[in-house]
Every structure is written in structure tokens, then in C-alpha cells.
């Protein structure tokens, strides 16, 4: 887990994932239509792409020791055979968010918005991996990739609805919701 | 402060800073000898360089609201005319460090190693800027740039001695100490 994984999400006419929809959620920024998505790890994606978003896994920024234990007890890895549905949710947060001290960001994220606890409610059905993009001069700050069985789609929508209603989300100024299947 | 600044430290035969010494402190990794250093912000450094290290400013990872207030009350900016001495200290931390949860890293860094409080003791004489490199696939995790008047050199050495004696520093597995003047 310690070593960062450099991930490129490349949309185009080929790739193992079919793009079912691309929907702007916050702000007017969106991504060009494309039929397929490929996910490259630790390689420079080559060839023509409609668009490509890059991110890197990193150390946890907010999760405490006890929260880590609760998460690792139940969370599943990416790549489960039954997880044929996926979502890629790029978001950007405001300058006001990034200017807050660590303790204030933590309080908003968890004590007041329950981001970690809410995610825990949907484990192990929904697997996720967070990628950081802010330090890569990308158009988004985070790319979160989710995988789940098609039967968990309503649960996944519920998770997003709950997160988007939080105080934390008032600091999100750009969000796109990309749904995929394979 | 919110927007990341992408910084390249390029060593070669030209640049405003003269490199006075390059000393490996932890580990055997070092950097080739060069006579000068140039610091580029938000531009891709061009031309031949002996070596170049890249980093990006980012949000604070550990500083609390009260610590932020104490720091901003006394810290000085880079670029003071009298600050003709500088140091560039690249460090890398172990995988064990990066695998620790946020609360444990914070406890080691400040409650047990007093990193923030120690730095505060040397303000405003020593100005600093932290650059993150871990998410850029660089050979170091952090590049810290310090500027001070030559008369503050002994104080700067004292600051480094205190930090290097901490529990936090047991997680540092690569460190180089580069001194410069202009």
C-alpha cells in the first residue's frame, strides 16, 4: 500500500470498460463523449484518447487508527469478478477548502460530514480507490474509482446522495459522474 | 497560498545561487556536483542540467488552526534581500512512515518530535517553503528550501541538529544537505 500507483484513466474507442454515461454534477466542466475506458497503472498511456485523467494513490490524509481498523476489516479489493459495474467520479475542491488547516478539514470531513463512516456503511459491496490529482496539475483534485455488482447500483446511488448533501460537499466546485460496465 | 506552485530546482553551470556544498546525511544517495542552482516556478525548466529535482507546494498536512496562527504571526517570505544563504534539503521517508494512519503520523511529528514547535523557534530568521515530491515519482518525498542571512547559519545548523535527533527522523531513509549562497 505504501508505494504510490500512478494511474491514467484513458477514454477512447477501446478499453475493457464501456462508458454508459458522463454527467456533470457540480459546475459546467464535463468530459467528451467516448465509448470505452482503459485504466493504466504505472505506465504512460499511449495512443489517441478522447481524454485522459491522471492520478496517484497516496497515504491516507484523514483516516485514524481506529477508522483504518474498521475499514480494513471489511473492505474488498478492486477486480472482483462479480463487480462488473464501475464509476469514476472526478471532483475538485475550492481554494477555501485547501486553505483550511488540517484539523478544520478533518472536522468538516468526518465529525460533521461523516464521510468515512458513510463509506463504511457500503462496505464490502462497493470497492473503491482514491487517486490524488491536485499535485499533478490536473483539472480535478481527486479521481475516485468504484467497483460493484450491478445489484448494488441503488446502494451506490444512495452513497453518493448522502455524500453530496454534506457540509464537505459545499467545498466541491467541480464534479463529474461517469458510469461504466464490463 | 491555495494554488500549488510547481517548482524545479535545476543544478548546472548557471543560476542565481552558487552551490557551496552537497552532503549526504542519511543513506548513500547523493547528487552530482554542480556549481550553480536555478529555481523555476510553474515553468518547465529547459536546457542541460547536472540534475533537477521537482516538487509542488500543497495544502498543510499536519498544522492545526492554533499552530497556523502562531506560524503566520512571525514567519517571513522567501526573497528577503538580506537572506543570501540558502539550503535545499531533500528527504525521503520509509514505507513504514507512509503506511501509518494520519493520527499516528501527527503524534510522531508534533506531539513526540515537536517538528512544528521547533521550527517556530527559528522564525522569523529562517524562511522556508516545503515542496512535495512523492506524488511526482521523484527520488525524494520532500524538498525543503530555506533562506536566511549568513549570520543565522549557526541557528540553522542547530535547527537541523534538533530535527535530526527526533523520533520522526528515524523514518527518514534518504537525506541530502545542499548549502548555497548568492
Q: How far apart are CA A39 and CA A32, in angstroms?
A: 17
pLDDT in tens, A68-77: 999 999 999 9
Query: A63 at the B interface (CB within 8 A)?
Result: yes
Rounded to a whole number of angstroms, the CA Rg of chain B reads 16
Burial class (CB in 10 A: 0-12, 13-18, 19+), A120: middle
Percentage of chain A beyond pLDDT 90 is 93
ipTM of the complex: 0.92
Q: At residue A117, does pLDDT exceed 80? A: yes
Per-residue model confidence (pLDDT) at position A46: 67
Chain-chain contact of B132 with A136 (C-beta, under 8 angstroms): no
Per-residue model confidence (pLDDT) at position A123: 97
Q: At residue A1, does pLDDT exceed 70? A: no
Chain B closest CA to A20's CA: distance in Å? Answer: 31
Q: Which residues of B touch A106 (CB under 8 A)?
A: 102
Residue of A nearest to B138 (CA): A4
Strands A17-26 and A172-181: antiparallel
Q: Are A40 and A63 in contact (CB under 8 A)?
A: no
Query: A99 at the B interface (CB within 8 A)?
Result: yes
Chain-chain contact of B102 with A134 (C-beta, under 8 angstroms): no
**Cell 466542466 maps to which residue?**
A29
Q: Are B141 and B93 in contact (CB under 8 A)?
A: yes
Residue of B nearest to A93 (CA): B2
Q: At residue A13, does pLDDT exceed 80? A: yes
Q: How far apart are CA B168 and CA B129, in angstroms?
A: 19
Query: A28 at the B interface (CB within 8 A)?
Result: no
pLDDT in tens, A22-56: 999 999 888 999 999 999 999 876 667 899 999 99
Per-residue model confidence (pLDDT) at position B43: 87
Q: How far apart are CA B103 and CA A116, in angstroms?
A: 15
Give A159's pLDDT tier (boundaries 50, 70, 90). Answer: very high
Q: Which residues of B touch A1 (CB under 8 A)?
A: 99
Query: B137 at the A interface (CB within 8 A)?
Result: yes
pLDDT in tens, A125-158: 999 999 999 999 999 999 999 999 999 999 999 9
Query: B74 at the A interface (CB within 8 A)?
Result: no
Q: Which residues of B touch A58 (CB under 8 A)?
A: 134-135
Q: How far apart are CA B147 and CA B76, in angstroms?
A: 10
Q: How far apart are CA B10 and CA B86, in angstroms?
A: 15
Q: How far is CA B173 from CA A116, B27, B90, B141, B161, in A?
A: 32, 6, 11, 10, 16
- Any idea what the Cα angle at residue B127 is, between residues B103 and B29, rounded to 5°? 70
State pTM to two decimals: 0.95
Average pLDDT, chain A: 96
Best of A101, A104, A106 to substitute, by most chain B Cβ atoms within 10 angstroms, is A101
Per-residue model confidence (pLDDT) at position A44: 77
Per-residue model confidence (pLDDT) at position B147: 98
Given a cut of 70, the residues of chain B with pLDDT beneath it are 1, 45-47
**Cell 513526540 maps to which residue?**
B112
Burial class (CB in 10 A: 0-12, 13-18, 19+), A72: exposed
Q: Which residues of A touch B106 (CB under 8 A)?
A: 102
Percentage of chain B beyond pLDDT 70 is 98
Which residue from A121, A123, A143 is spatially nearest to A132, judged by alpha carbons?
A143
Q: Are A132 and B135 in contact (CB under 8 A)?
A: yes
Average pLDDT, chain B: 96
Chain A closest CA to B59's CA: distance in Å? Answer: 6
C-alpha grid cell, residue A78: 478492486
The secondary element (H helix, E strand) that includes residue B86 is strand B85-93
Residue of B nearest to A103 (CA): B64
Per-residue model confidence (pLDDT) at position B49: 84
Q: Are B182 and B35 in contact (CB under 8 A)?
A: no
C-alpha grid cell, residue A53: 485523467
Query: A72 at the B interface (CB within 8 A)?
Result: no
Amino acid at each position: 500500500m505504501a508505494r504510490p500507483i500512478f494511474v491514467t484513466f484513458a477514454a477512447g474507442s477501446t478499453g475493457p470498460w464501456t462508458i454508459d454515461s458522463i454527467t456533470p454534477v457540480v459546475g459546467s466542466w464535463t468530459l467528451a463523449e467516448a465509448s470505452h475506458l482503459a485504466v493504466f497503472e504505472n505506465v504512460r498511456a499511449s495512443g489517441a484518447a478522447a481524454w485522459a485523467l491522471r492520478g496517484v494513490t497516496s497515504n491516507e490524509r484523514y483516516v485514524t487508527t481506529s477508522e483504518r481498523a474498521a475499514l480494513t476489516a471489511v473492505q474488498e479489493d478492486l477486480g472482483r469478478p462479480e463487480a462488473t459495474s464501475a464509476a469514476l467520479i472526478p471532483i475538485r475542491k475550492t481554494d477555501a477548502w485547501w486553505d483550511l488547516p488540517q484539523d478544520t478539514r478533518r472536522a468538516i470531513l468526518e465529525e460533521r460530514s461523516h464521510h468515512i463512516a458513510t463509506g463504511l456503511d457500503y462496505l464490502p459491496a462497493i470497492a473503491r480507490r482514491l487517486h490524488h490529482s491536485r499535485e499533478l496539475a490536473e483539472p480535478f483534485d481527486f479521481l475516485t474509482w468504484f467497483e460493484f455488482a450491478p445489484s448494488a447500483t441503488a446502494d451506490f446511488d444512495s452513497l453518493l446522495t448522502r455524500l453530496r448533501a454534506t457540509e464537505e460537499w459545499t467545498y466541491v466546485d467541480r464534479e463529474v459522474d461517469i458510469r461504466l460496465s464490463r
